């Protein structure tokens, strides 16, 4: 579409129809598109393209969503999205054609629906993988519809336009892959043998996934990613950089125990094992469940466990100190239990005055005695001269 100002779109028929389809006002819808463009790091002109793509119901991409070794926390996180709500998302923004948890169908009907959607949208549908994939003993530890997870994900990925691994389990193995890993739990990219878009987290923020889908809906491709396949708009900055407790880190104010004075006052959790200095995610920026920035681990008083990082989350003990990647503490710290000053009291002022008076008297006496000694020393040669003469 030609580049137009998003404000001028308010009177377009497709945008007017959004009020009925999505249950939001046209102005709120356009503000949401502008905010999403900013979140994705796109220019302001992209907001109009996002609005056009979402407002046009004929462009809904088909989504096949697979579940393997996981707790369904990623889907639960998506259920709590508010902009848009889940029913608006799956009925008006995307076409969720297969999802084992949300499906009304079961058994053979569910598998028939998946195969029909894959055939009708071959080369165009998005494949979303939730959960790690067991590979030990030929993958016998997870089967769906008589197929192992290995065979199922390879079959679905063969005709997909793109593969998205949602959650830490699908992104790099997550909790199921932690030692001793008896099932050989692996990531989607490892099993498929190719890079995929990864949205790690335990669970990930639903808006990271929704933003990636809207980007695909608008531009026909997935957003730019880092070397691990994570979208840069969400995983390019360390948690520590945007943490509300960062000033306490810089000042050397740390909670040393859960429930101590520093912990109650919101001091930095680094010494309690917070992994924010080595974890890339936007958790402190957008929070969870639309209830404010306190709705994330550090905001609630618990250290970040690094769930978006392979080799950190579910690998390092919670109490282990994080590796400081791009920030360093100051060379000198104030005492974490430094008492607050209360000003001078009469007694303390008197004590200082007494000390000052004693010091002045001592200095006077020292000078006086020193002068006498110098005078004696200077008179001795003169007396000797007089005696000899």
Residue 337 has pLDDT above 80, yes or no: no
d(CA 243, CA 268): 9
pTM: 0.73
Phi, psi of 231 (to 5 degrees): -60, 130
Q: Which two tokens stand for residue 131?
A: 């959960």
d(CA 309, CA 291): 25
Q: How big is the CA angle at 302 (ends 298 and 305), to the nearest 5 degrees?
A: 85
User: Is 300 annotated in some ligand binding site?
Assistant: no
pLDDT (0 to 100) of residue 293: 65
pLDDT, one tens digit per residue, over 94-117 is: 788 899 888 877 888 889 989 999
- Average pLDDT of the segment spanning 194-219: 88
User: Is 71 annotated in some ligand binding site?
Assistant: yes
User: Is 283 annotated in some ligand binding site?
Assistant: yes
User: Is 268 annotated in some ligand binding site?
Assistant: yes
> H or E element: which one contains 167?
none
Q: How big is the CA angle at 139 (ends 135 and 143), to the nearest 5 degrees?
A: 135
Please check whether the domain covering 61-205+226-234 is classified as CATH 3.40.50.700.
yes
**Which pLDDT band holds residue 198 (cuts at 50, 70, 90)?**
very high
User: Is 33 annotated in some ligand binding site?
Assistant: no
d(CA 234, CA 218): 18
- Average pLDDT of the segment spanning 346-355: 55
How long, in residues, is the chain? 389
User: Is 202 annotated in some ligand binding site?
Assistant: yes
User: Is 142 annotated in some ligand binding site?
Assistant: no
**Which pLDDT band holds residue 183 (cuts at 50, 70, 90)?**
very high
User: Is 156 annotated in some ligand binding site?
Assistant: no
- Where along the chain do its domains lie? 1-59, 61-205+226-234, 237-337
Q: Which of 46-60, 159-173, 253-267 has the lowest mean pLDDT?
A: 46-60
User: Is 248 annotated in some ligand binding site?
Assistant: no
Please check whether the domain covering 237-337 is classified as CATH 4.10.480.10.
yes
pLDDT (0 to 100) of residue 90: 66
């Amino acid at each position: 579409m030609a580049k137009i100002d998003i404000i001028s779109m308010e009177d377009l028929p497709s945008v007017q129809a959004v009020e009925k389809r999505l249950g939001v006002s046209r102005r709120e819808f356009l503000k949401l598109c502008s905010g999403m463009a900013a979140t994705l790091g796109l220019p302001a002109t992209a907001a109009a393209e996002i609005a056009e793509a979402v407002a046009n119901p004929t462009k809904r991409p088909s989504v096949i969503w697979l579940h393997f070794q996981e707790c369904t926390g990623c889907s639960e996180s998506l259920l709590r999205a508010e902009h848009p709500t889940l029913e608006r998302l799956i009925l008006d923004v995307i076409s969720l054609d297969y999802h084992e948890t949300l499906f009304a169908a079961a058994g053979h009907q569910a598998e028939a629906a998946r195969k029909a959607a894959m055939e009708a949208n071959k080369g165009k549908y998005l494949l979303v993988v939730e959960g790690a994939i067991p590979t030990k003993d030929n993958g016998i530890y997870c089967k769906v519809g008589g197929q192992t997870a290995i065979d199922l994900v390879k079959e679905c990925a063969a005709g997909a336009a793109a593969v998205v691994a949602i959650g830490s389990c699908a992104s790099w193995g997550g909790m199921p892959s932690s030692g001793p890993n008896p099932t050989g739990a692996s990531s989607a990219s490892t099993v498929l043998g190719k890079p995929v878009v990864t949205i790690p987290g335990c669970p990930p923020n639903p808006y990271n996934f929704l933003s990636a889908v809207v980007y695909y809906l608008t531009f026909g491709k997935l957003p730019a990613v880092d070397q691990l396949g994570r979208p840069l708009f969400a995983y390019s900055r360390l948690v520590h950089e945007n943490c509300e407790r960062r000033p306490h880190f810089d000042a050397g104010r740390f909670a040393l125990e859960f429930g101590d004075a520093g912990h109650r006052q919101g001091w930095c959790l680094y010494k309690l094992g917070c992994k924010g200095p080595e974890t890339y995610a936007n958790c402190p920026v957008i929070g969870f469940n639309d209830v404010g920035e306190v709705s994330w681990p550090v905001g609630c008083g618990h250290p970040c466990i690094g769930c978006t990082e392979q080799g950190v989350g579910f690998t390092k003990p919670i109490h282990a100190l994080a590796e400081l990647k791009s920030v360093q503490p100051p060379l000198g710290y104030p005492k974490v239990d430094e008492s607050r000053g209360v000003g001078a009291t009469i007694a303390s002022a008197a004590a200082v005055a007494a000390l000052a008076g004693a010091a002045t008297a001592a200095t006077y006496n020292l000078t006086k005695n020193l002068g006498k000694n110098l005078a004696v020393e200077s008179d001795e040669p003169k007396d000797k001269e007089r005696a000899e003469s």
